[in-house]
Structure formats: structure tokens, C-alpha cells
Amino acid sequence: VLTLRKLSGASGINAEYGKQWYQRRVRDLKAMAAAANYAWVNRSSMTFLCRQAFAKIFNSTPDDLDMHMIYDVSHNIAKVEQHMLDGKLKTLMMHRKGATRAFPPNHPLIPVDYQLTGQPVLIGGTMGTCSYVLTGTEKGMERTFGTTCHGAGRAYSRAKSRRNLDYMTVLENLKEKGISIRV
């Protein structure tokens, strides 16, 4: 069972600790905002280049191919949000490290397109495993302040994987699952 402490950190901004934390971290929050902007531009650039590649291959335009951004969400970021805590509505600084938002249907902070279903949650699998498309729920909001993982996680660090995994063995294992990779 995933608990709040495993997925997110919350500090009450109105509490003395929260005020001190906030004052000490203003510089960190500004740096996080700059990193979030950089990440957004990076995702936008990759989307643009992907759309252009498809347009070139299909001798068309991205619009004619109906290639539009469906959903974009940040992760590993801190945001000020209001949540029920001990039966009271509190303003909290939510830092979702290794996690992202998963708000339920009718939540005011999710786009109109997702009000009836809840916030989309995209959980990418690993090479050879399934990925999932889910939505936030009311139960998830109560138990985790609307927080979920944003990926499958890793069995090994990137460096350990490079040291311990044989390239050809990985390709063979993927081939057995019907997955081919061209490098």
C-alpha cells in the first residue's frame, strides 16, 4: 500500500515550521521554477520535432495528421495546494519527488476536458513491460493528497545497468517479447 509519506512531502505553510521552511527555501523554489520552465520548453521542443518528423514521413502537416498535444503535466516539483488535513482545509507546499498529481473528477485545478474523468495519470513501463493510463480518484485524493508515481521506477541505477547488463542479452530478451529496436 502506498502511503502519503512514501509519495509526497507536505509542509503546512501557516505553521511555524512551514514558514521557516519556506523562508529558507525561496532560492530553491526559484531554481525549481526555472527548472520547470526548462523542462516545459524541452517537452515542447520534443513535441514540435516529433510532429515535424511525422509530417515529413507522411508528406503532410502536423495539423492534417491531427497531431495535437493531448496532455502535459509536470513531475518532481513543489506546488502550493489546498488539501484536507485532520479534517481541516490547509494550504500546503506539496513536493512530489518521483511522483505527480492525480486529482479526482470535478477538482478545480484540472482542465475542463478532464473534469468528468479525473486527471490523467500516465505511468510508463520499463522496456518490455506495460504502461498504464489511469485517472485520479477521490480515494486517492484522501489517502495521498492526489499523488501518484509517474513511472515504473528502476530495478538498477543507470550506471549499474550499464555495468551489469549485456547489450545483446537485452536485445534478445526484448525480441522474445516481440519488441524490436533499431539503433
* 47: exposed, middle or buried (Cβ count in 10 Å: 0-12, 13-18, 19+): middle
The span from the CA of 140 to the CA of 103, in Å, is: 8
Type of residue found at 99? A
Please check whether residue 150 is in contact with residue 100, taking contact to mean a CB–CB distance below 8 angstroms: yes
Cell numbers 511522483 correspond to 99
First to last CA, the chain: 39
Sign of CA dihedral 27, 28, 33, 34: positive
Radius of gyration of the chain (CA): 20
3-state secondary structure of 102: coil
150 as an active site residue: the answer is yes
68, 83, 95, 150: which is the annotated catalytic residue? 150
Catalytic residues: 150
